[in-house]
Chains A and B, each alone.
Chain A
Amino acid sequence: MSAEVPEAASAEEQKSEHSMHPWSFQLSIPNNLEEMEDKVTSPEKAEEAKLKARYPHLGQKPGGSDFLRKRLQKGQKYFDSGDYNMAKAKMKNKQLPAAAPDKTEVTGDHIPTPQDLPQRKPSLVASKLAG
């Protein structure tokens, strides 16, 4: 049930990729279209083909399961405790809407201050789909 594996990578590299990665693609996963059509019998396999088509680099990273390790380190990362406390304070201020009820209408002349800007999503949180 083996399919053709690209010759480019050395035998050693191939072995390390597949043995260390729990979700590495098994050798049964086809790399050419004809075989793909044959294998699309179960709905699960069909979904897998879909996923591989959208994210060809998924599951090919060596070195243990990225997914598992990301799970172990869930939680929002901050630069340091100061960053954390600032973020907490900002959250608290946002939750008190009665802060400045008589603020004048902001027109186009208003120069934005950091408080007016939407909070930036922390960049250290990486999508699991990213390469």
Chain B
Amino acid sequence: FFEKKLISFLFCLNYTADIISTVEFNHSGELLATGDKGGRVVIFQQEQENKIQSHSRGEYNVYSTFQSHEPEFDYLKSLEIEEKINKIRWLPQKNAAQFLLSTNDKTIKLWKISERDKRPEGYNLKEEDGRYRDPTTVTTLRVPVFRPMDLMVEASPRRIFANAHTYHINSISINSDYETYLSADDLRINLWHLEITDRSFNIVDIKPANMEELTEVITAAEFHPNSCNTFVYSSSKGTIRLCDMRASALCDRHSKLFEEPEDPSNRSFFSEIISSISDVKFSHSGRYMMTRDYLSVKIWDLNMENRPVETYQVHEYLRSKLCSLYENDCIFDKFECCWNGSDSVVMTGSYNNFFRMFDRNTKRDITLEASRENNKPRTVLKPRKVCASGKRKKDEISVDSLDFNKKILHTAWHPKENIIAVATTNNLYIFQDKVN
């Protein structure tokens, strides 16, 4: 895969925004949604087939922008509630409109994005600009007709799911039944029905009776892509629990516990921090799940709990920098990960605007960079290499010259094609592989 295709990812689009906090393709891949720190959602749409030239796929252009969340104030705790969008999840398309869920720390909203390309003209009592006509000037009666107009994309909030989370929401996941979804915060997971906003069921609660005994928090949660009764949640201690909602109403007792045993002699102050799982994603097939911890990506077979089946090192050279990474807080960065459409390649971000891909079949990996300086549009991305120690070769970058402020936390892969979206702090990059 890498030799033929990946290496020829082209630089495609660069869109500057507020700090991007989430990136998600919809089910067809035609739409790409981004959420940012300012509570805005920007949706990109792929150009339709008949407009593109033969040597490339459609480009992504801005389709809709709207303010999803506003900052709020929690009066009880005197804390600000950030408007930053933590996650966006698309619903599968059922009619002409598109629906997505977007969430900040406390509130989930269902947005409807619809197109309007016709408008009624020829009212009897109103002018075309909306002003009311003087009734005495109306001498005839006519029937208004729909006339084409410039495409307008409107976003409207259809449901607001609020007041169900004491702690900060880190994940939302739509069930394969397309009727329910879960939302997870640091200590609890709730189950919602998409139609009902005044009620949600608590399905996981790991809050200890005495907060002094708190040892771990929930870091991510996701529904199984095919089994509507199954979901997983990951913890800050590096464990993943799979729960079956048929077993009981409250899924505090897991059905499966995935944990890789650790060599106790290797344990250090950093062990638990770097084992904290920042993201968990099921494969499209539903057979595997992938977890991201600070230094690695692990693939787990759902049938085997005692260790992952594959482990990929993202940036092992950082192990000897943990002290400084703790001091500058980078050790707490939450990287996401994603699968390609066929589950053969996984991708995750790193520092210095690097992102990594691992081909599960050939076991090859590649490091690429998302930056404007090094990539002219429509050119092939050059693989990067970090030199951990010793002599640095010509095009290599030494660990000490890595920019830890340039981190790629959010990446997304088109569900069907080799098109990827990579978010640096302020910019969104879309890369696609070379067609012939």
Contact across chains for A20 and B79 when beta carbons are under 8 A apart: no
Contacts of A37 in B (CB 8 A): none
Quick one: given A71-B186, A75-B105, A88-B71, are A44 and B270 in contact (CB under 8 Å)? yes
Contact across chains for B322 and A75 when beta carbons are under 8 A apart: no
B215 on interface, CB distance cutoff 8 Å = yes
Contacts of A80 in B (CB 8 A): 78
Q: What is the size, in residues, of chain B's interface with A at 8 Å between Cβ atoms?
A: 40
Contact across chains for A64 and B73 when beta carbons are under 8 A apart: no
> Separation in Å of the B220 CB from the closest CB of chain A?
14
> Separation in Å of the B276 CB from the closest CB of chain A?
10
A15 on interface, CB distance cutoff 8 Å = no
B81 on interface, CB distance cutoff 8 Å = yes
Q: What is the size, in residues, of chain A's interface with B at 8 Å between Cβ atoms?
A: 40
A68 CA to B81 CA in the complex, in Å?
19
Contact across chains for B167 and A68 when beta carbons are under 8 A apart: no
Contact partner, A77, options B79, B272, B322, Cβ 8 Å: B79
Contact across chains for A77 and B78 when beta carbons are under 8 A apart: yes
User: B307-339: contact bitstring with A at CB < 8 Å (1 yes, 0 no)?
Assistant: 000000000000111110011000000000000
Quick one: given A44-B270, A68-B215, A81-B73, are A76 and B79 in contact (CB under 8 Å)? yes
A46 CA to B266 CA in the complex, in Å?
11
Contact across chains for B268 and A45 when beta carbons are under 8 A apart: yes
A51 CA to B324 CA in the complex, in Å?
8
A73 on interface, CB distance cutoff 8 Å = yes
> Separation in Å of the A115 CB from the closest CB of chain B?
22
Contacts of A44 in B (CB 8 A): 266, 268, 270-271, 319-320, 322
Contact across chains for A51 and B73 when beta carbons are under 8 A apart: no
> Separation in Å of the B171 CB from the closest CB of chain A?
15
Contacts of A10 in B (CB 8 A): none
Contacts of B213 in A (CB 8 A): 20, 64
B236 on interface, CB distance cutoff 8 Å = yes
> Separation in Å of the B85 CB from the closest CB of chain A?
15
A40 CA to B390 CA in the complex, in Å?
20
Q: Could you tell me which B residues sit within 8 Å of A by CB distance?
A: 71, 73-75, 77-82, 105, 167-168, 186-187, 211-217, 236-237, 265-273, 319-323, 326-327
Q: Could you tell me which A residues sit within 8 Å of B by CB distance?
A: 1, 20, 22-23, 25-26, 28, 42-48, 50-52, 54, 58-59, 63-65, 68-69, 71-81, 84-85, 88, 129
15 residue pairs of the A-B complex, CB under 8 angstroms, read A22-B216, A22-B237, A22-B272, A47-B270, A52-B269, A58-B269, A71-B186, A71-B217, A72-B214, A74-B168, A77-B78, A80-B78, A81-B73, A81-B78, A129-B327
A-B pairs, top 9 by smallest CB distance, nearest first, are A43-B320, A64-B212, A47-B322, A47-B323, A75-B79, A50-B323, A48-B268, A48-B269, A44-B268
